[in-house]
Structure 1
Amino acid sequence: MSVRHGLLALLSQGPSYGYQLKVEFERRTGDSWPVNVGQVYNTLDRLERDGLIERGETDGDGHVFYAITDAGAAEARSWLEGPVVRGAAARDELAVKLALAVTLPDVDPEAIIHAQRVATIRSLQELTRSKAAGGDPDSPEEFAWQLVVDALIFQAEAEVRWLEHSEARIRRLRARTGSEGAARGATASAPRTAPAELPATTTASAR
């Protein structure tokens, strides 16, 4: 999540002060990602340093208003219009944990998969209930929040599929080698420059 670019996008709509930006950021993202007001002001300081915003007037309550510069508006447009680039070998803690587990002689990777699957399915159920209990889907705040929840649901579904896929691969390897410990240490041969298989990021189902 880019608070930096989110603030620039908000400032492209007109001057605002720090706490106002915090409230608007949270409201427009459906209160999905609360941000600390200190983080907002630290980000504003960096944006000002980089010439992307500038300080404007101070109102009677002492609020310092910030306005976007031409350079800041260009960066905001570039962020909004461009794709989010994710590295092919982005570090995923679960993938790293499982990759290490299959190389360790005293660790059962299937137990790790089972524990994670239970936790992920529980999270998926909570997200689904939360979405179903939402408010007016036509309100901008509710619609923004549901978009975020949809993304989290799709990610959880993809994680469950990847866990099942990984478990099946481990079992096939054990069946071929005829050893319960065969999956452990099996990847200790030639190193890879990038993972051969990564969890899917989307699902075929839609809500």
Structure 2
Amino acid sequence: MSIRHSLLALLQDQPRYGYQLRVEFENRTGSTWPLNIGQVYTTLDRLERDGLVSNDGSDGEGHVVYSITNAGKADVRNWFAAPVERNNPPRNELAIKLALAVTLPGVDVEAIIQAQRVASIRALQDYTKARRDTAANQRAADTAWLLVLDSLIFQTEAEVRWLDLCEARMLQQAQTAGKATPRKSSNGVTVEEASPLIADSRR
């Protein structure tokens, strides 16, 4: 997540001080990614150092107000125009956990998958309810939050589908080794049904 560009985008709207930037960011993203106020001010210091924002002094109440410079406006325009790069994907703790689990003895991989599936489905239900409740209000100000919720819903749906694939892969691997007889995962997915997904994932 680019805190740097997010703050620049908010300053492009109007000058603000650190706490205002934090509140605006969390309001517009539904507090999905809470910002530490210290992180906000550290980022503002770096933006000022790089000539992307200017320190406009105190607002009379002890708050240091920042405004965006022309260089900052150009930087945020370029950010909006460029696609998000996937060269260095963010760390996925769940993928790391499962990758390590299948390589270490004595780890119950199936239990990990089941526990995560329950948690992911619960989260999916919460996101879906939040989206339904937000959409019912039909306020223009909720559009940003709806976009975030849609993203969370799609990501969580994909995670549940990926967990199904992981479980089917474990069953297929065990059957190949002659260590298992069940043909269905606990989620009702057969190895045969999952095989096209497994094949696709290898391409």
Contiguous gaps of at least 5 residues in structure 2: 181-199
Question: How far apart, in 2, do the equivalents of 1:137 and 1:87 lie?
Answer: 37
For 2:91, the equivalent position in structure 1 comes to 91
Structure 1 residue 151, shift from structure 2 partner? 0.9
Moved more, 69-78 or 157-166: 69-78
TM normalised by structure 1 equals 0.78
Q: Secondary structure at the match of 1:12?
A: helix
Bigger proportion of residues as helix: 2
Structure 1 residue 171, shift from structure 2 partner? 0.8
CA distance 1:54–1:90, change in 2 (3 Å):
closer
Map 1:33-48 → 2, pairs under 5 A: 33-48=33-48
Q: Number of paired residues?
A: 182
Contiguous gaps of at least 5 residues in structure 1: 181-195, 199-207
CA distance 1:91–1:56, change in 2 (3 Å):
closer
For 1:116, the equivalent position in structure 2 comes to 116
Structure 1 residue 88, shift from structure 2 partner? 6.0
Question: How far apart, in 2, do the equivalents of 1:146 and 1:179 lie?
Answer: 46
Map 1:31-180 → 2, pairs under 5 A: 31-87=31-87, 90-134=90-134, 136-140=137-141, 142-179=142-179
Question: How far apart, in 2, do the equivalents of 1:159 and 1:52 lie?
Answer: 38
TM normalised by structure 2 equals 0.79
For 1:23, the equivalent position in structure 2 comes to 23
Question: How far apart, in 2, do the equivalents of 1:89 and 1:54 lie?
Answer: 32
Moved more, 16-25 or 95-104: 16-25
Question: How far apart, in 2, do the equivalents of 1:95 and 1:145 lie?
Answer: 27
CA distance 1:99–1:20, change in 2 (3 Å):
closer
Question: How far apart, in 1, do the equivalents of 2:98 and 2:119 lie?
Answer: 15
For 2:197, the equivalent position in structure 1 comes to none
Structure 1 residue 57, shift from structure 2 partner? 4.5
CA distance 1:13–1:90, change in 2 (3 Å):
closer
Moved more, 97-106 or 31-40: 31-40
For 1:193, the equivalent position in structure 2 comes to none
What is the percent sequence identity of the aligned residues? 57
Contact kept, 8 Å, 1:56 with 1:67, in 2: the verdict is yes
